[in-house]
Structure 1
Amino acid sequence: MAPEPGDVPRPEFIADSIVDAILAGRLSPGDRLGEQALADVYGVSRTLIREALGRLAARGMVEVSARRGWFVVQPSPVEAREAFEARLAIETGLLQSRRGALTAADVERLRSHVADEQAAIAEGDAGRRSWLLGDFHVCLAETLGNALLAEILKDLTARTTLIATLYQSTHAASQSCSEHAAIVDALAAGDLPLAAQRLREHIGEVADHLGAPRHHDASLRQALAPVPEAQAPRRRLFTDLLSPASAVPPVPHPEELLP
C-alpha cells in the first residue's frame, strides 16, 4: 500500500517499489542504486534508503561494494542454474510426498491464480505478470500442505523470478501460463505423477531458455514511478519474507567497507 500524502515512505515500501521496478523491467542487472538519488526520489534520509536496500541485500536482490555503492544484482549463469535446480528438487519432492488428491477448494484456488496470470498477460502488465507467474509455485506449495517448505520455496521462487526477469527469458509468459494450467489439470484429475512430470518439464524449460541480461536507460525517477494501486500484487514474493526493521542488522555505508 502506498503511503498517504505527507507520510514518510517506510523502508518496506521503498524496498517493494524497487522490486516492482526490477520485475517490470524498468531496472536492469548492474544498475546503480545511488543512495542520494533514491533519497531524492522518495523524499527521505539516506539512512532509510540504506535500511531498505539492506532488506533487499539480505534476500540477494541488490549488492553493495566498496567505492562503488549499491547495485541491482547480476547473477551468473551458474548461480541462475543452481537456483532453478533447488526449486526443482523442492517442488517435485512436495508432489511426490503428497498423500491423496487436492481438495476442490485447492484446485479452485490454483485455477483462479492461472486466470489472474492470463489477465495480466492480456493486459501487458509486465510487473504483475512476472510476479504472478512466480507466485503460482508458492501457491502450489501452500496447497500441498507443507508450510515450512512453502516458506523456503517462496524465497527461492523470488530469486528465480528475478533471474528470469533480468535475463529476459525467451520462454513466453503465455507458454508458462499454459504449463501452469496443465499442471493444475493433472492435479484436478488426481494424477500426482503426471503433475510432477509436467512441473519438472516446466521448470526445466524456463531454466533452459534464459537469455542475455537486458538493459534499460531509464532514470531512477522514471524507473521507480509509482504503480497504480489496482495493478499492485496482492502480496509480495520478496518483502513478505524480510525481517521487521528491528531485526535487520545495521547496514554499513559503502565507505565503511573500505580497508
Structure 2
Amino acid sequence: MTAQTKSSTQIAERITEAMLARKLAPGTRLGEQQLAELFGVSRTQIREALTRLVTRGIVTVSARRGWYVIEPTPEDARDAFEARRVLELGLLRHARPISDDAIRKLRQHVEREQASLEDEDVATRSFLLGDFHVCLCESFGNALLADTLRDLTTRTTLTAMQYQSSHHAKQSCAEHVGIVAALESGDLAQAEQLMHEHLCNVEAGLNRSVRSDPLSLLQKALAPLNDSATQIHQPLFPTSPQLKES
C-alpha cells in the first residue's frame, strides 16, 4: 500500500477483503507488530483499524490473548442469514427500477465470477461471490446498507470456512446470473424471489454440512498440535499482488 492508502479505514477494508477471499481463517491471530510491519504504519494505526473491525463484529479482542478473527457458531450464521434476508429482500421489494449502468456493472461482476470458476481461483471466486451482494446494494445507491451487508457477508463466509467443506460455487454464480437477468427485465418481484431462494440454498448447504459431521469441532480441537499451528499461523497475506487483485 502506498502512503496515501495507509489509513486505518483502508487497512480494515484490506483485512475484510482477505476474510471474504478466505485467506484469513476464523480464529487467526492478528498481531499488532506483524501488521504494522506489513503495512508500514504505526501500531497505533493498526489498533485503530482492528478496533473498527471489533465494532463491526468480525474481529474479537481480549487483554490477554490479543486480536483474533471471530469464530462464528452455527447460531451466529443463522442470525446473520436472517439479517441478510431482511436487508436484501427488503431492498429489492422497495427498490426503484435499476439503471442501465448498474445492470452493466452487475453483469461484469458475474462475468468475473464465471471467469474465476474456470480458472479455479478460489480466493477471487470466494471474494466475488460474497461481494456480489454488496455490489447489488451499491447499484441501488444505498451505501449504508452496502456497508452493513459487507459485514454480514463476511460473517457468513467465515462460518462457511469453519463448517462447510465446499460450497457449490457454480450454483451460486448461476443464481446470481438469474437475479441480474430479472433486474434487467425490470421484474423486481422475480429478483426478490430468486434472491430468497439463493440465500436459502446457501444456508441449507451450510446446515447440511454441520449436521453431517457433528464431531467436526471436537475433531478440530483434538488435531495434532503441528497441524493446528500450521492452520492458525498461516501468513496473513500470501502475496501482495493477490490482495490487490481482490
TM bucket by the smaller chain? 0.7 to 0.9
Structure 2 residue identity aligned to 1:53: L
Q: Does the Cα contact within 8 Å between 2:137 and 2:146 map onto a contact in 1?
A: yes
Normalised by the length of structure 2, the TM-score is: 0.76
CA RMSD of aligned residues (A): 3.2
Corresponding residue of 1:237: none
Q: Does the Cα contact within 8 Å between 1:17 and 1:226 map onto a contact in 2?
A: no
Structure 1 residue identity aligned to 2:194: R
In the aligned structure 2, how far is the partner of 1:120 from the partner of 1:155? 23
Residues 67-82 of structure 1 correspond to what in structure 2 (within 5 A)?
Answer: 67-82=64-79
Corresponding residue of 2:183: 187
Q: Deviations over 1:218-249 (max 9, x none)?
A: 5757332333178523xxxxxxxxxxxxxxxx
Does residue 1:138 correspond to 2:137, yes or no? no
In structure 2, runs of 5+ residues without a counterpart are 211-216, 221-227
Q: Choose which of 51, 58, 61 in structure 1 pairs with 2:55.
A: 58
Corresponding residue of 1:196: 192
Distance apart, 1:103 and its partner CA: 3.7
In the aligned structure 2, how far is the partner of 1:126 from the partner of 1:77? 23
In the aligned structure 1, how far is the partner of 2:49 from the partner of 2:140? 33
Q: Choose which of 76, 80, 84 in structure 1 pairs with 2:81.
A: 84
Structure 1 residue identity aligned to 2:2: P
In structure 1, runs of 5+ residues without a counterpart are 234-259
Does residue 1:174 correspond to 2:170, yes or no? yes
Cα 1:169/1:184, change in 2 over 3 Å: farther
Q: Does the Cα contact within 8 Å between 2:23 and 2:123 map onto a contact in 1?
A: no
Percent sequence identity over aligned pairs: 49
Residues 171-250 of structure 1 correspond to what in structure 2 (within 5 A)?
Answer: 171-210=167-206, 211=209, 217=230, 220=233, 222-228=235-241, 231-233=244-246
Structure 1 residue identity aligned to 2:86: A
Moved more, 164-173 or 203-212: 164-173
